[in-house]
Amino acid sequence: MNAQTNEGFCNWICDLYLSNDETIMDEMPGLADEFNELIGDVSRLITKEIDSNSLFEYALRFITHPLVYSIPLIVLGCMPYHLFYTARLIIESLTVGLYEDFWNRDWAFCEKLKDATDFRMGSLVNCGGPRCDRYVKLGQEINEVLGWLKDELGAEPVGFIYGVYDALSKMMHPITRMRCGDSIGGAFGIALTAFAYETPPMRVILQPAKCEGDVKVLKAFYITITHMKLITNMLIYAWGSLVSKLSNEELEDVRRRIEDGVKAIRQLMNIKY
């Protein structure tokens, strides 16, 4: 890529991001607040001294933290596929970190990392393989420490976490059938939606596009970020409680953020677009 071509590409990206920023502020003014709050929620714990043997803290600091800082660029590029993958990766990384710190809290980091290669997210809700006793016990413990949230979620906390993870996972496949009705998900579903609503077909791949006139993709951003923020704080609360890593004051602060997250999702679901 020569200098002239490079300058033209940079100008195009800059103009696209500025245009999308205006669209987002006009159509979804609360979206920026949501990902700013997510960054803040994760960053609060990064200031603490790290336990070098904690897989959860490693996942929070070296996977979740950099990924959430990429979200503004993902949104400004109007690239939902990036966001689906990012949200899924964050949820599973924190969950496997919680699993290892809960069951193997006295192990060295490398021992936990090796053990984590056998972790299966789905086993938390439907285990049919090895270590089922561990998955069932951890699921029960998470549901217990987050029991005050069950009525708000309309489901057991572990079931809610996995439900969101599973929905994001379906977007990672070429074609899947979604749980809600007979709608088609995955890459084909996204491409068909783009065709039907005359929005950029590159939504199905990883290329920046215009957000203008595409309220559906903006709502997808909003829903994904609010749910990711809520689940991140739920997992932080569960880890802090079960592994005794957070003080009562810190737990109460995370609880308040969880309650705010539930309210944000309720408000979003009541908005008609």
Q: In the chain, which ranges are continuous DSSP H helix?
A: 3-27, 31-46, 55-59, 65-76, 80-103, 109-116, 132-145, 150-153, 157-170, 186-196, 215-242, 248-270
The packing angle between helices 31-46 and 65-76, to 10°, is: 160
pLDDT number for residue 196: 72
Q: Is the pLDDT of residue 192 over 80?
A: no
What is the distance between the alpha carbons of residues 224 and 18, in angstroms, rounded to a whole number?
22
**Amino acid letter, 234:** M
Quick check: 214 pLDDT over 70?
Answer: yes
Residue 162 is predicted with a pLDDT of 97
Average pLDDT, the chain: 88
pTM of the model: 0.89
The length of the chain, given as a count of residues? 273
Query: pLDDT tens-digit profile of 4-14?
Result: 557 777 888 89
Q: In which band, very low, low, confident or very high, does the pLDDT at 216 lie, cut at 50, 70 and 90?
A: confident
Determine the Cα–Cα distance for residues 39 and 24; give it in Å rounded to an integer. Answer: 18
41-89 residue pLDDT tens: 999 888 778 899 999 999 999 999 999 999 999 999 998 889 999 999 9
Contact 104, 116 (CB under 8 A): no
Res 135 pLDDT > 70: yes
pLDDT band at 176 (very low <50, low <70, confident <90, very high): low
User: For the chain, which residues make up each domain, given as ranges?
Assistant: 3-270
Q: Answer for the pair 142, 238: CB distance below 8 angstroms, yes or no.
A: yes
pLDDT at 49: 84
Q: What does the alpha-carbon distance between residue 207 and residue 102 come to, in Å, rounded to a whole number?
A: 39
Q: Please tell me the distance from the alpha carbon of residue 45 to that of residue 50, in angstroms, as a whole number.
A: 9
- Mean pLDDT to the nearest integer, 109-130: 91
| Assigned token pair, 8 | 């033209």
pLDDT at 204 over 70: no
Q: How far apart are CA 5 and CA 12, in angstroms?
A: 11
